[in-house]
Amino acid sequence: MFTVRFDVKIFVAGAAGFIGSHLVRCLHRFGYKIVGMDVDAARSKLTIDSGVPFYCCDFGSQISVSEIVKKHGIDTVVQCAGKFGSDERMDVMATYTNGVVCNLFLIDTLIKSGVKNFVYISSANVFGHVDKMPIGINTPRNPSNVIGNCQLFVENMLESFREHDGLSYAIVRIPEITGLNSINDEYFAKNMHGNFISDVLRQITGKIDEVEVTISPDDTVDGTIERDYMHIDDFCSACEKVLQKLNTDGERIVYNVGSGKKYSENEVIRIMEGAFGVHVKTREVPIKDNVAPRAYFDIFNTCYDLDWSPKYVTLEKIIETMMPYYAGKQKI
């Protein structure tokens, strides 16, 4: 069993974003000493606890990061930051710069500053098109898009730094993160983050006319792509377990986390139509070459190793957490 060390000083990069801000608040309220950093100072005022030291700067800024680490005696860094847009809006050069070069600068700074532990939030994108599902921890990584390429590069880079510089690291690969809670979600309910469930909510509330449903010729349950949707609270609780393990006996640990369930986009539509009592208008689009038709994790070993299990095990339970923010606002 792991030793819970609340004296560990944790630096969270990307602290004002959807994932980062929830993680900061979870860890802070659990008793950890937290420092946050993000480029969005305005959003941080709405999403981060007032008792958490916060710095507005880019995680690739070596001088700024070095000063923050030294000032607060940081032991562990959690990297949730990244600027990843959709294929249509993606600046490829900026994505590689942010996803690879800035992470290289960050890790170099941390090693020179004596930080020994690094947690990298990766994703299912590193696996690309997978024939045998669900995705296991030993499934070959073969990304099919720019985001996956960046994340795979960082994963491999971390192993090189472990071998040559003694950096201990944890990789936490996540599926689609969604759901809301009562901590800081008024802001995120109004500024929906980008995934398929967010698109459905935008259509339900009249912000867009149609939801694009991706059609796949592969062996999916109903011809639409399949994903795992994990509640943000479950991600935070899993990440807290990873931090315990990394600070107890970790040198190199890798976990795929998720809900343990898969849902096609058509299934998501039906569940949300039932929850909100409206018809969701959709438009079918063909799958692109860089989009995996199926992406969901086998979480059995993760649950066993971390003595953890997701609380929100069905999409219906996840949608329930959104109802206080959206019920009554649907466009009939």
Hey, where are the domains in the chain?
9-177+229-256, 179-228+261-294+313-326
Question: What DSSP character marks residue 31?
Answer: T
> Residue 72: which H helix or E strand, with range?
helix 62-72
47 token code pair: 């999403």
Give pLDDT tens digits for 53-64.
999 999 999 999
Predicted pLDDT of residue 313 = 93
Nearest-10 Cα torsion for 302, 308, 312, 315: 10
State the pLDDT at residue 214: 97
CATH topology for the 9-177+229-256 domain = Rossmann fold (3.40.50)
Collect all residues with Cβ–Cβ distance below 8 Å to 247 and sequence separation of at least 6: 2, 3, 5, 8, 75, 76, 117
Per-residue pLDDT, 46? 86
Q: Which residue shows structure tokens 């073969």?
A: 142
| Separation CA 203–CA 201 (nearest Å) | 5
More confidently predicted of 95 and 185: 95
Phi and psi dihedrals of 261, rounded to 5?
Answer: -125, 160
Measured CA to CA, the distance from residue 219 to residue 226 in angstroms comes to 10
Tens digits of residue pLDDT in 276-295: 999 999 999 999 999 999 99
In this structure, are residues 107 and 169 in contact, taking their beta carbons and an 8 Å threshold? no
Do 9-177+229-256 and 179-228+261-294+313-326 come out as alike in CATH topology?
Answer: no
Using only C-alpha atoms, what is the Rg of the chain?
Answer: 19
% of the chain at pLDDT higher than 90 = 79
Condensed to tens digits (0 to 9), the pLDDT of residues 222-258 reads 999 999 999 999 999 999 999 999 988 778 999 999 9
**For residue 2, is pLDDT > 60?**
no
For the residues 208-222, what does the mean pLDDT come to?
92
pLDDT at 7: 80
Indicate whether 85 pLDDT > 60. no
Instruction: Please list the residues that pair with 226 across neighbouring strands.
Output: 264, 294
Residue 136 CB neighbour total at 10 angstroms: 15
Q: Alpha-carbon distance 147 to 125, whole Å? A: 7
Closest CA to 20 of 151, 227, 190, 174: 174
Residue 66: alpha-carbon gap to chain centroid: 25
- What does DSSP say about strands 263-264 and 226-227: parallel, antiparallel, or unpaired? antiparallel
| Cα 279 versus chain centre, distance | 29
**In the chain, what's the furthest Cα-to-Cα distance?**
60
What is the CATH architecture of 179-228+261-294+313-326? Alpha-Beta Complex (3.90)
